[in-house]
Amino acid sequence: MWKILLTDGLKDEGKAILAEQAQVDDRNGISADELLEIIGEYDAVIVRSRTKITAKVLEAAKNLKVIGRAGVGVDNIDLEAARERGITVVNAPQAATQAVAELVIGMMFALARSLTKADAAMKRGEWIKKKLLGTELHGKTLGIIGIGRIGSRVGQLAKALGMEIVGYDPLIPAEEIERRGAKPLQTLDELYAVADVITLHVPLTPQTRGMISKEAFGKMKRGVIVLCAARGGVIDEDALLEALESGQVAGAGLDVFAKEPPGATPLVTHPNVLATPHIGAQTAEAQRRVAIDIATEVLAALNGKPLRWKVV
């Protein structure tokens, strides 16, 4: 019977699937030191974004055959080290699409209408109606950077609000971007020039780290709203803070940060920032889908069956 380690928890539906073929050890919240001590016992490990599967961990993982990422991003896994050791890495990229897309739309509404400011004032007993002149999303242009599953879904939802959708993705042909509901643009500069709202849906890679830089903010329309529920690190947070202070960026919705948790930083506490603690996939429905998808994929990998979402 296979031995599978869970380091960040998993919904019961996924555990039940795993338990049919494996001994499942749920060590939710395990420390890095503890992980190093016990990883050698397991055939597979399933993680979320908290646990870091480093080269050092993989060196200690003598029996490890599969790493499952219960979610999309795999920047917390040393993919090259896994590849060198012949360890398969799989993820569950579809399960959280709707949940993340809905969060992004919610952030867009909240920033356009200053909903968090209005609520906070009411709770203080203040009536600040005249200070809260908002803007309508209908007729505005949404620029989507990264037209994958989530980016495409955000575009579909935004189009229903009457927004114009433009997209940039160097990995997807223009005709496919158009099929997914966005007007394809050839460069980021074109997107910056026309977008009233910009949402990021790219993985964190050496190429995307810090891609939304001081220079990029300078090319955007003044008063733009910037949203990121993808990965912390793709936005230069110091540059974003500067752009917020100058008014170049009117508001930012951030679900992810370069360091998590970030603490009460000047960016997190800025009055024009809507900050959430990486909750994009945190819906009951998405978590059930993630658990089922990653459990079945990890077992398929262990049993040598065809894989739907092999990363390495």
CA angle 70/76/78 to nearest 5° reads 115
Question: Of these residues, 59, 126, 260, 285, which one is catalytic?
Answer: 260
CA distances from 47 to 174, 189, 258, 298 (A): 35, 37, 19, 11
What pLDDT is stored for residue 208 in this prediction?
A: 96
Q: Is 180 among the residues known to form the active site?
A: no
- Region 26-42: mean pLDDT is 97
Q: Of 144, 143, 105, give the one whose Cα is nearest residue 253.
A: 105
What pLDDT is stored for residue 124 in this prediction?
A: 98
Q: Is 124 among the residues known to form the active site?
A: no
CA angle 113/260/204 to nearest 5° reads 85
Percent of the chain with pLDDT over 70: 100
> Looking at the chain, how many residues does it have?
312
Rounded CA-CA distance 63/304 in Å is 16
Reported as a pLDDT band with limits 50, 70 and 90, residue 101 is very high
Q: Is 201 among the residues known to form the active site?
A: no
Question: Of these residues, 48, 69, 278, 289, which one is catalytic?
Answer: 278
What pLDDT is stored for residue 148 in this prediction?
A: 96
Strands annotated E in 264-307:
273-275
Question: Of these residues, 231, 237, 289, 297, which one is catalytic?
Answer: 231
Which domains are assigned to the chain?
Answer: 2-94+284-302 (3.40.50.720), 97-275 (3.40.50.720)
Output the six-digit token pair for 269: 């506490």
Per residue in 80-92, pLDDT (tens digit) is: 999 999 999 999 9
What pLDDT is stored for residue 168 in this prediction?
A: 98
Output the six-digit token pair for 63: 């029996």
Per residue in 193-242, pLDDT (tens digit) is: 999 999 999 999 999 999 999 999 999 999 999 999 999 999 999 999 99
Q: Where are the alpha helices (DSSP H) in 113-187?
A: 115-123, 149-160, 174-179
Reported as a pLDDT band with limits 50, 70 and 90, residue 7 is very high
Output the six-digit token pair for 227: 């949203």
CA distances from 152 to 97, 155, 245 (A): 9, 5, 31
Compute CA 63 distance to the chain's CA centroid, rounded to the nearest angstrom.
30
What pLDDT is stored for residue 25 in this prediction?
A: 98
What pLDDT is stored for residue 104 in this prediction?
A: 98
What pLDDT is stored for residue 67 in this prediction?
A: 98
Average pLDDT value over all residues in the chain: 97
Indicate the DSSP class of residue 77: B
Per residue in 259-299, pLDDT (tens digit) is: 999 999 999 999 999 999 999 999 999 999 999 999 999 99
CB 100 within 8 A of CB 240: no
CA distances from 189 to 27, 213, 309 (A): 46, 12, 32
Compute CA 173 distance to the chain's CA centroid, rounded to the nearest angstrom.
23
CB 221 within 8 A of CB 192: yes
